[in-house]
Amino acid sequence: MPTIYAKTDRLVLRGIEKSELPRLVTLLNVWDIAQWLVVLPYPYTMQHAEEFYADMDLAEASGEPQFYGISLKSNSLLMGGVGLHPPRGTSAIKGDVEVGYWLGRDFWGHGFMNEAVQKVAAIGFSRPATNALIATTSPENVASQNVLQKLGMKNLGVMLRDYSALRGDEKVVKWQVTRQEWKAPRDL
């Protein structure tokens, strides 16, 4: 049974089980998703999933999980993930936590990611060391930018990417919401 970290009206944010790695590979081995995840290997293989699982396990054991699998309450089937991790790049500031996320293509267009990211933001800001949540997006990734705007993040502008990536634009849009700016939604 995976660890349950949070619930929303429709979703469960949870750990993933090793038995779910084949599903993780199937979900992530889709170019429509991988193209935006600049540090995700593509094609995504079982070996990649096993390495990710080992890293996730270490973070969970440290007491600050970095990855939260997303599933519907109604069926508990893994449908995506959202993470809170140390920021990449030379512009990282102490107290910043980077938000990253993806959702299986069959689940797009239902508001699931907005719901999941709001709940994970609450988890992030429940940690005393978190001063701000940050994210970067491709300038063309409008869907992801909409999620960040709904979270309350501010667009800090287009800048050169300052971290290594497997693909993607050299320029990214940087996003941020500070602890003082963030307002936790009441209806999750």
Reduced to 3 states (helix: H, G, I; strand: E, B; else coil), residue 3 is coil
CA distance 133 to 84: 9
Q: Is the pLDDT of residue 187 over 70?
A: no
CA distance 17 to 74: 18
- Burial zone of 83 (CB within 10 Å; 0-12 exposed, 13-18 middle, 19+ buried): middle
CA distance 165 to 61: 27
Q: Is the pLDDT of residue 188 over 60?
A: no
Region of poorest pLDDT, from 57-71, 100-114, 149-163: 57-71
**Strand-pair category, 67-72 with 78-85:** antiparallel
pLDDT score for 72 = 95
Q: How many CA atoms lie within 13 A of 139 on its CB side?
A: 9
| pLDDT tens-place string over residues 67-86 | 999 999 999 999 999 999 99
- The pLDDT of 178-188, averaged and rounded, is 78
Of 62, 67, 188, 181, residue with least CA distance to 132: 181
Q: Is the pLDDT of residue 169 over 90?
A: no
Asked if 42 and 168 touch (Cβ cutoff 8 Å), the reply is: no
The pTM score is: 0.93
- In DSSP notation, 109-150 reads TSSHHHHHHHHHHHHHHHSTT--EEEEEE-TT-HHHHHHHHH
Q: Which has more pLDDT, 89 or 123?
A: 123
CA distance 37 to 118: 20
- The pLDDT of 87-98, averaged and rounded, is 91
| pLDDT tens-place string over residues 47-60 | 999 999 999 989 88
At CA 25, angle to CA 66 and CA 44, rounded to 5? 90
Q: Which has more pLDDT, 68 or 187?
A: 68
| pLDDT tens-place string over residues 1-49 | 789 999 999 999 999 999 999 999 999 999 999 999 999 999 999 999 9
- The pLDDT of 135-156, averaged and rounded, is 96
